[in-house]
A = this chain, B = another copy of it.
């Protein structure tokens, strides 16, 4: 939960960033941003749309998408998973961890034993939550994405299933 002060600070910060980047501070943008801020569950664009419609009935889903994208580029919002958009599969059924490149979305495996085991002893889980497994994601940039310039390059995973066969 966000304190009222922290919430206001976040909104103020957003207004400032809009100014800085020469983007208009519209009511729609404020309400969309607040919707994510206030959301306990990490919302989908559709969720945001539904919530925002409560305050701006005329808003369109397209506007939500456009602004969400703008916010992601600006660093005002973050996406929870780097792997939405398309299903990624694996045949390795033994528990293991992943190293993922935020540039090209490549995923490298790590044996479970290669990462020090997690200590969940003092971790406050939601009431009634039954843990089945823990997975660690080490996020960063792979060698080649660093090479081509560590920018937001969309080198996009050319993953032709690698050196398979």
Interface residues of A (CB under 8 A from B): 10, 33, 35-48, 50-51, 54, 68, 72, 75-93, 98-99, 101-102, 106-108, 110, 114-116, 118-144, 146, 150, 157, 159-165
Q: Which residues of B contact A78 (CB under 8 A)?
A: 89-93
User: Nearest residue in B to A68 (C-beta to C-beta)?
Assistant: B89
In the complex with contacts A133-B139, A139-B132, A77-B50 CB distance below 8 A: no
Tell me if B99 and A159 are in contact (CB < 8 A).
no
Cα of A37 to Cα of B92 in the assembled complex, Å? 8
The listed residue with most B CB atoms (<10 A of its CB), out of A90, A120, A163, is: A90
- Give the distance in Å from the alpha carbon of A159 to the alpha carbon of B86 in the complex: 21
Please state if B91 and A10 are interface contacts (CB–CB under 8 Å).
Answer: yes
Copies of this chain per assembly? 2
CB contacts (< 8 Å) of A118 on chain B: these are 115-116, 118, 136
Interface of A is mostly: loop
Which residue, of A43, A106, A144, A157, has the highest number of chain B Cβ atoms within 10 A? Answer: A43
Kindly list chain B residues whose C-beta atoms are within 8 Å of the C-beta of A50: 160-161
Q: Are B108 and A91 in contact (CB under 8 A)?
A: no
Q: How far is the CA of A39 from the CA of B91 in the complex (A)?
A: 9
Could you tell me the distance between the alpha carbons of A18 and B21 in the complex, rounded to whole angstroms?
Answer: 57
Q: CB distance B83 to A83 under 8 Å? A: yes
Known: A39-B162, A107-B41, A118-B136. A85 touches B84 (CB 8 A): yes
